[in-house]
Structure 1
């Protein structure tokens, strides 16, 4: 199914803002700069794959095979949207580092 350019751009912006905001809040609360960048791949796997998360530990062979097939079937638009979410998560960590370096003790 084709995705229109405006829908793609809005989706990218929403994922970027969503994960930047979540990362910013988690960084403020937990004071762990890169927590969202570490958690984001788990969230992306939950979005991409339809396998229960516990099956990655109980039945890793078929779970990771299913994940590989799901990732290989992603469209370019889906990859772009997920990449913009990762960029938002990473940029939230960079923003925290800059704010802490400038002396903002809350961050």
Structure 2
């Protein structure tokens, strides 16, 4: 296989992976991390969005996770249960979220502008 074909195949694989990841449901913290929030703010806002999901009755899909917003779990650690939300569910929760702290207000505004 020549270098040109290898490069083309790598580009197609990266594009496929990006499109597949965009369609998959993510945890609330990973939605925030993927959109540029730092890890500590992502975990704080995710907790608030989880409580908002309970009040609105938004239920995600149950899953297991090997990686948290703080980093990867140790190799032999058991996977932890989590709830994954689609993009639509995430933005529903984000529009209903009304933060008080200035940094969370800024995060919410940036995410809603990106839509």
Q: Normalising by structure 1, what TM-score?
A: 0.30
Which is bigger in relative contact order (C-alpha 8 A, separation at least 6)?
1
Hey, which of these two has a bigger chunk of strand by percent?
Answer: 2
Hey, which of these two has a bigger chunk of helix by percent?
Answer: 1
